[in-house]
Amino acid sequence: MLFTVKINKNKDFLALYNKGAAVSDNNCLVYFRKNKLPVNRIGISTGKKMGNAVKRSRARRVIRQAYRECELLMPIGFDIIVCARKGAAECKSYEITSFFRKRLIPKMNDPDAFKPRNKGVKNHKK
Protein backbone atom coordinates (compact mmCIF):
# COMPACT_ATOMS: atom_id res chain seq x y z
CA MET A 1 0.00 0.00 0.00
CA LEU A 2 1.49 3.26 -1.15
CA PHE A 3 0.61 5.97 1.32
CA THR A 4 -0.55 3.87 4.26
CA VAL A 5 0.76 2.83 7.67
CA LYS A 6 -0.95 0.40 10.04
CA ILE A 7 -2.32 1.47 13.40
CA ASN A 8 -1.25 -0.84 16.19
CA LYS A 9 -1.63 1.21 19.40
CA ASN A 10 -4.61 0.83 21.64
CA LYS A 11 -4.31 4.55 22.45
CA ASP A 12 -4.90 5.48 18.80
CA PHE A 13 -7.91 3.20 18.58
CA LEU A 14 -9.51 4.72 21.65
CA ALA A 15 -8.89 8.26 20.43
CA LEU A 16 -10.64 7.50 17.15
CA TYR A 17 -13.60 5.82 18.79
CA ASN A 18 -14.17 8.91 20.93
CA LYS A 19 -13.40 11.74 18.55
CA GLY A 20 -13.69 10.40 14.98
CA ALA A 21 -16.58 10.71 12.57
CA ALA A 22 -18.40 7.51 11.60
CA VAL A 23 -20.09 5.92 8.58
CA SER A 24 -21.68 2.46 8.61
CA ASP A 25 -23.72 -0.17 6.79
CA ASN A 26 -24.54 -3.83 7.44
CA ASN A 27 -21.05 -5.10 6.71
CA CYS A 28 -18.84 -2.65 8.53
CA LEU A 29 -18.51 0.50 10.60
CA VAL A 30 -15.84 3.10 9.72
CA TYR A 31 -14.34 5.75 11.98
CA PHE A 32 -12.05 8.43 10.52
CA ARG A 33 -10.25 11.57 11.59
CA LYS A 34 -7.55 13.95 10.31
CA ASN A 35 -4.10 13.10 11.65
CA LYS A 36 -1.88 15.98 10.31
CA LEU A 37 0.58 13.45 8.78
CA PRO A 38 1.58 13.04 5.11
CA VAL A 39 0.20 9.44 5.11
CA ASN A 40 -3.01 7.62 5.87
CA ARG A 41 -3.15 5.22 8.80
CA ILE A 42 -5.55 2.28 8.82
CA GLY A 43 -6.61 -0.25 11.44
CA ILE A 44 -8.96 -3.18 11.05
CA SER A 45 -10.87 -4.52 14.05
CA THR A 46 -12.61 -7.89 13.98
CA GLY A 47 -14.22 -8.69 17.31
CA LYS A 48 -15.12 -12.11 18.67
CA LYS A 49 -18.78 -11.48 17.88
CA MET A 50 -17.92 -12.13 14.23
CA GLY A 51 -17.42 -15.86 14.78
CA ASN A 52 -14.44 -18.18 14.77
CA ALA A 53 -10.93 -17.47 13.53
CA VAL A 54 -11.69 -18.43 9.92
CA LYS A 55 -14.53 -15.92 9.66
CA ARG A 56 -12.52 -13.16 11.29
CA SER A 57 -9.59 -13.70 8.93
CA ARG A 58 -11.92 -13.70 5.94
CA ALA A 59 -13.46 -10.37 7.03
CA ARG A 60 -10.03 -8.82 7.54
CA ARG A 61 -8.89 -9.88 4.07
CA VAL A 62 -11.98 -8.64 2.32
CA ILE A 63 -11.75 -5.26 4.01
CA ARG A 64 -8.06 -4.93 3.26
CA GLN A 65 -8.67 -5.75 -0.40
CA ALA A 66 -11.45 -3.18 -0.64
CA TYR A 67 -9.25 -0.51 0.91
CA ARG A 68 -6.46 -1.33 -1.52
CA GLU A 69 -8.77 -0.80 -4.49
CA CYS A 70 -9.97 2.56 -3.19
CA GLU A 71 -6.67 3.81 -1.90
CA LEU A 72 -5.82 6.13 -4.81
CA LEU A 73 -9.19 7.84 -4.58
CA MET A 74 -8.83 8.70 -0.93
CA PRO A 75 -7.64 12.02 0.46
CA ILE A 76 -4.35 11.84 2.35
CA GLY A 77 -3.84 12.64 6.02
CA PHE A 78 -6.46 10.52 7.77
CA ASP A 79 -6.63 7.87 10.50
CA ILE A 80 -9.19 5.22 9.58
CA ILE A 81 -10.56 2.30 11.58
CA VAL A 82 -12.81 -0.32 10.03
CA CYS A 83 -14.80 -2.49 12.41
CA ALA A 84 -16.18 -5.61 10.77
CA ARG A 85 -19.80 -6.54 11.37
CA LYS A 86 -21.45 -9.93 10.94
CA GLY A 87 -22.11 -9.59 7.21
CA ALA A 88 -18.45 -8.99 6.37
CA ALA A 89 -17.43 -12.63 6.49
CA GLU A 90 -19.96 -13.72 3.85
CA CYS A 91 -20.01 -10.72 1.49
CA LYS A 92 -17.92 -10.11 -1.64
CA SER A 93 -15.16 -7.53 -1.61
CA TYR A 94 -16.83 -5.32 -4.26
CA GLU A 95 -19.74 -4.74 -1.89
CA ILE A 96 -17.38 -3.04 0.53
CA THR A 97 -15.55 -1.27 -2.27
CA SER A 98 -18.76 0.35 -3.47
CA PHE A 99 -19.62 1.30 0.09
CA PHE A 100 -16.27 3.05 0.43
CA ARG A 101 -16.72 4.91 -2.86
CA LYS A 102 -20.32 6.05 -2.40
CA ARG A 103 -20.45 6.84 1.31
CA LEU A 104 -17.03 7.10 2.91
CA ILE A 105 -14.93 9.09 0.42
CA PRO A 106 -17.51 11.87 -0.13
CA LYS A 107 -17.70 12.36 3.62
CA MET A 108 -13.94 12.47 4.01
CA ASN A 109 -13.77 15.19 1.39
CA ASP A 110 -16.49 17.20 3.10
CA PRO A 111 -14.68 19.65 5.47
CA ASP A 112 -17.62 19.74 7.89
CA ALA A 113 -17.96 15.98 8.02
CA PHE A 114 -17.34 15.35 11.65
CA LYS A 115 -18.22 18.64 13.30
CA PRO A 116 -22.01 18.09 13.13
CA ARG A 117 -21.68 14.59 14.59
CA ASN A 118 -20.04 15.89 17.75
CA LYS A 119 -22.67 18.58 18.14
CA GLY A 120 -25.35 16.03 17.45
CA VAL A 121 -24.10 13.79 20.23
CA LYS A 122 -24.02 16.67 22.68
CA ASN A 123 -27.51 17.77 21.74
CA HIS A 124 -28.84 14.26 22.36
CA LYS A 125 -27.37 14.31 25.84
CA LYS A 126 -29.04 17.62 26.63
Give the footprint of RNA on this chain (CB under 7 A).
Answer: 1, 6-8, 10, 13, 43-45, 52-54, 57-58, 60-62, 64-65, 68, 91-94
Three-state DSSP state, 30: strand
- The sign of the torsion formed by the CA atoms of 26, 101, 67, 76 equals negative
Q: How far is the CB of 118 from RNA (least distance, A)?
A: 25
Which residue number, 67 or 114, has a Cβ lying nearer to RNA? 67
User: Do β-strands 21-24 and 40-45 pair in parallel, antiparallel, or remain unpaired?
Assistant: unpaired
Q: How far is the CB of 67 from RNA (least distance, A)?
A: 10
Q: How far is the CB of 58 from RNA (least distance, A)?
A: 5
Which residue number, 21 or 63, has a Cβ lying nearer to RNA? 63
Which residue number, 54 or 121, has a Cβ lying nearer to RNA? 54
